[in-house]
Chains A and B, each alone.
Chain A
């Protein structure tokens, strides 16, 4: 959580139990360099204490792209898939708190668009947690959820 990692095939990247957080999978199919950002909050500019760049959609995605390019990825060929951003609980009050999943997913999409990264697929929203695995060999993004069949996007 609030972390980012990169790797190269044949390795894979995974993050367990995404709730309202969003797992942004970045992949360059030519060099098979992968990146995964576990986004916790939308924008670093909205938060005073924002030194942890992996925590936010804007800074996390940009940093992950930078690391991938440094590891040999071709910036123009990197594509994205996103998953997570669920609304785990529905409370009558604290609406802003409860909708953070939606806002995370929206922010990730905005940042990807701004960075000219094509979003190939997404599995976001709804009300359940997800475990995700980004396969370094294929760029497949496996999504596992409780009581649901595995899904690959």
Chain B
């Protein structure tokens, strides 16, 4: 007997006793649904985190130097040299100096933070210039009093829509605005768009110890992030001789670590939920055993008319598999519905990946087949004479 015929027979069997079939499937439905909800939420969470980190640049490396003492520092030029020596993995590097200072625009105090950066800072962050230009090498070399502002300055009413060419004061020094960066967030106060960038050579003057302790660099590709980090770390070690005195952190690596942790947590939770699939399987086995007893006579007839052991066995296994697969499909649909309702509560789009849906489906089929095996074997081994005598 072909698979298709067994399958049609199974569908027929299920459709003649719908309520019973539904109750048999219930364990599988609940099990699959909970696995789908958990993996859906986990996936939604991961997507959310990935989006967040991608906003910060996945190729970006943050370098922090905490080394103290004059013989244990590294010069800006040396940092640029390191980048140049490893240019196959490092595209750009830029100092990043946070300025403690007050920004005043036309007698108005702003809460904007000021950062001293290199000429490649724009490229490292993959930002675009909205109008004007970015800080250039000669601005840094000649310590020009120029600045680039975020799109907040083009949208607030301080300068109107065209701040380029206007002047603002940082700790009392006048800086000319030479460019505006495109909108990154939503152009509101305190957002990323609320920024003022100046040449790092000027920023260093504002800081007390006149050393640069942080840099940002970008790797040449997503794949070379780790190589870039290791290259920088190696060079820094040669200077500091102690890896506690510096840190090179890659956003991608943090994201990867977080995703790995997330995967483990989701895996454990899904595994726990998966136990209910086992219980569902036992439910199927139970009903199938009852069904074999009830249908002893049918089995006897089939055997008398020439059904071989494997015909009977495949009939019952396919019936169990079909029941449980149907339960799996219902469970997937139900789980996705629940996940899409829970998602918004956590502000995420909870949607399981296609491979976890396929996995849930194949596990439910597998559970049915596995737990259908014992009843099917029992049916196949029935003696036709005894089975026919059964009333």
Is B one of A's binding partners?
Answer: no
Which residues of B are at the interface with A, using a C-beta cutoff of 8 A? none
